Amino acid sequence: MSTPRRPRRGARAGAVALAVGALSLPALALPASAAGTTYRQANGPADCVSINPDGSLNTDPGSCSQFGPAGQGRSNQQARNVILIIGDGMGQQEITAARNYVEGAGGRFEGLDNLPHVGLYTHHSINKKDGSVNYVTDSAALGTAWATGTKTYNGAIGVDVAGRPEQNLIEVAKNAGMRTGNVTTSEIQDATPAVMGAHVSTRSCYAPSGDFKASCEADQRVNGGLGSISEQLVDTRADVALGGARGAFSATVEAEGTYTAADGATHEWTA
């Protein structure tokens, strides 16, 4: 085995840890047929770890780091555009299962596994009655959490446990003068896209009347609420909105009058 070089001052801890792990691999008794073969190491380039003709490993701690000796290549430039892609029900366990199935245990997804940052957060919801933790969340409560930063009860869209509206990402962006979009392969009133433009007590409150109306009387504008999800999506009015359930936008508004939106502005609507 080649003698490992002493890590340079200021070397990344991750690079050192990876190199140490690689140097312990000969204990696995690699087959002689593997001599001269190049193996792809997790997060490293294709030539990160190679096997010498005598069966020993040849590694370079710098090259075996996630981004190589040159580092990550950070930039001080600010992003002009941000696209948030939500894979509904796509957690680490689903990604791992797909990766193992498609690429094998040592495989990688090009693109997804090359992203420089990964962030994780808890995804429990809150029981409405007593405020206790509910470890089984739904997409409405989870969507509200990432769209507004507020934990809430299952079924809630853009409101906290007490039913108070919480500002979402599209509202923050529009208030900052940015152009926005809300695009989905599902119904646009479905929980995940709805949390970006509405504030209702129950996720099924699609429309003010007709087949898409749910039992959400307190949310209806005729009763002083902010309106159904469809009505609020029209008010939020992302610059680009694509999705299903067009019929919910054709529902008849039951009354006319004024109401105060989540941003505090007063609006009028007609039947």
* Best CA proximity match to 64, nearest among 50, 48, 52, 42: 48
60 is in an annotated binding site: no
* Residue-wise DSSP of the chain: -PPPPPPPTT--HHHHHHHHHHHTGGGG---GGGTT-EEPPTTS-TTSEEE-TTS-EEE-TTTTSTT-TT------PPPS-------TT--HHHHHHHHHHHH-TT---TTGGG-S--------EE-TTT--EESS--HHHHHHHHHHS----TT-BSB-TTS-B---HHHHHHHTT---EEEEEEETTSHHHHTTT--BSSTT---SSGGG--S-GGGSGGGTS---HHHHHHHH--SEEEEE-GGGGGSPP---EEEE-TTS-EEEE--
Q: How far apart are CA 65 and CA 13, in angstroms?
A: 9
Q: Are 172 and 223 in contact (CB under 8 A)?
A: no
Cβ-based neighbours of 45, under 8 Å, separated by 6 or more: 63, 68
Selected catalytic residue, list 24, 63, 125, 139: 139
Does residue 24 carry a catalytic annotation? Answer: no
263 is in an annotated binding site: no
Q: Are 234 and 188 in contact (CB under 8 A)?
A: no
88 is in an annotated binding site: yes
Residue numbering of the annotated binding site: 88, 190, 192
Could you give the residue numbers annotated as active site? 139
Binding positions for Mg(2+) are 88, 190, 192
